[in-house]
Structure 1
Amino acid sequence: MPSDSDESVSERGRVLTEEELDLTRHDNVNELDDGRYVVSTGEPMSDEDAQRRADAIDAREADAASDADDADDEPRLTEMDVNRWLEDHFRGIDAQYGFHATAKFDDGVSRHQVVSNDVVTSFESLLIWYAQHVGGGTPVEEVLGILLAESNVSVRYPVGTLTGLLKRYDLDRDDSIGDLIRAVSDEDAVALSED
């Protein structure tokens, strides 16, 4: 193996001496008074030119820091600004119903917006969106049933929904409540709909 002083060692692989590592020995390097260096890629420069170049760099860095501080001073949107924008936004929409909901679910935040001329479609969209986020994989219909059953809201269903339930189990006026209970006893839940 060749020694460090061997002339066959390529320039790239050779070990630099302590003198070669001393930046101040090079003509293109000017040491500033605060321990910083300016390295010229062209002709060697005077100490005055090196100081001017360092001052220009310092000024650019100070401007960048000032711009960052100015960005921090820019006015922030407030909750009132957002509410005002949403109100103006919905007033300009050509639909009878609409909503924009933002909600936190566990560790995430989700937004949902709907505009429609159908009141049921709007409400259904909100319920489905909410149930999908809180259900943890449980089918939406079950989540909604659980939420309504567990809430303090007493829901009144149109009579047609009971009629639809009876038809699904082939029950009529001649059957008893016991017949209805037996018919649905194998079910985890029943759907009330007019179908």
Structure 2
Amino acid sequence: MPSDSDDSISERGKVLTEEELDLTRHDNVDELDDGRYVVSTGGSTSDEATEAREQVREARKSLDSSAGDPDDGGTEITEMEVNAWLEDHFREVDAQYGFHATAKFDDGVSRHQVVSNDVVTSFESLLIWYAQHVGGGTPVEDVLGILLAESSVSVRYPVRTLTGLLKRYDIDRDDSIGDLIEAVSDEEAVALSKD
């Protein structure tokens, strides 16, 4: 795989470093609470973050007051109520795509929420988050490759991804499939990406 410094790699196609994955470093991201962030698609998020924090506080107060003390006969929050709150929350989000995932992993429970106007950014965020939790220190791109290869889902890649692979190994129409196999034989895995 080409290095991040390779000028031929687009910003969208490069492998992200740990620093780039640290959401708290970015100006357009504000942390609401542990593991929850507001991501703005443009400009500063301070007003949005303040509003979102206030909504979270109000929702918690509302849930706390409705739940009461179970020993006092107060009602508990049901899964249906949580789902309804999340549905209402996402209907009000000013973005085309978003998700809130809560998952149990070997090391505990983790939540991840993203809202974006970019469908690829939303999907990448979910994949990276999942791979980081199940990978056990294995690089994210390797985890994703293994998961896709081992799943029963047959992935169809655009033809340009194969063209990009052939270009990286200087394979052209005059070369054989054997030449391609020889070119990649020392690799543990190959990246199918544009260009």
The match for 2:190 is 190
- Partner Cα separation in structure 1 for residue 102 and residue 70 of structure 2: 30
Counterparts of 1:176-187 in structure 2, within 5 Å, are 176-187=176-187
The match for 2:81 is 81
Are 2:161 and 2:192, in contact at CA under 8 Å, matched by a contact in 1?
yes
Does 1:109 find its partner at 2:103? no
**Aligned residue pairs: how many?**
128
Counterparts of 1:19-58 in structure 2, within 5 Å, are none
Query: After the TM superposition, which parts of structure 1 deviate over 3 Å for at least 4 consecutive aligned residues?
Result: 68-72
The match for 2:154 is 154
TM-score by length of 2: 0.64
The match for 2:128 is 128
Where 1:120 maps in the other structure, the secondary structure is helix
- Partner Cα separation in structure 2 for residue 116 and residue 146 of structure 1: 27
Equivalent position amino acid for 1:122 in 2: S
Are 2:90 and 2:98, in contact at CA under 8 Å, matched by a contact in 1?
yes
Unmatched segments (≥5 aa) in structure 1: 1-67
Deviation at 1:173, TM superposition (A): 1.0
Where 2:85 maps in the other structure, the secondary structure is helix
Higher relative contact order (CA 8 A, sep 6+): 2
The superposition leaves residues 44-102 of structure 1 with CA deviations (integer Å, 9 ceiling, x where unpaired) of: xxxxxxxxxxxxxxxxxxxxxxxx97754111100000000000000000100000000
Unmatched segments (≥5 aa) in structure 2: 1-67
Where 2:102 maps in the other structure, the secondary structure is strand
Does 1:118 find its partner at 2:118? yes
- Partner Cα separation in structure 2 for residue 114 and residue 175 of structure 1: 44
The superposition leaves residues 19-65 of structure 1 with CA deviations (integer Å, 9 ceiling, x where unpaired) of: xxxxxxxxxxxxxxxxxxxxxxxxxxxxxxxxxxxxxxxxxxxxxxx
The match for 1:96 is 96
Q: Percent identity?
A: 85
- Partner Cα separation in structure 2 for residue 169 and residue 91 of structure 1: 47
- Partner Cα separation in structure 1 for residue 157 and residue 70 of structure 2: 59
- Partner Cα separation in structure 2 for residue 69 and residue 97 of structure 1: 37
Structure number with larger C-alpha Rg: 1
Equivalent position amino acid for 1:119 in 2: V
RMSD: 1.4
- Partner Cα separation in structure 1 for residue 101 and residue 193 of structure 2: 27
Deviation at 1:107, TM superposition (A): 3.7
Where 2:113 maps in the other structure, the secondary structure is strand
Quickly say closer, same or farther: Cα 1:184–1:81, change in 2 above 3 A. Answer: same
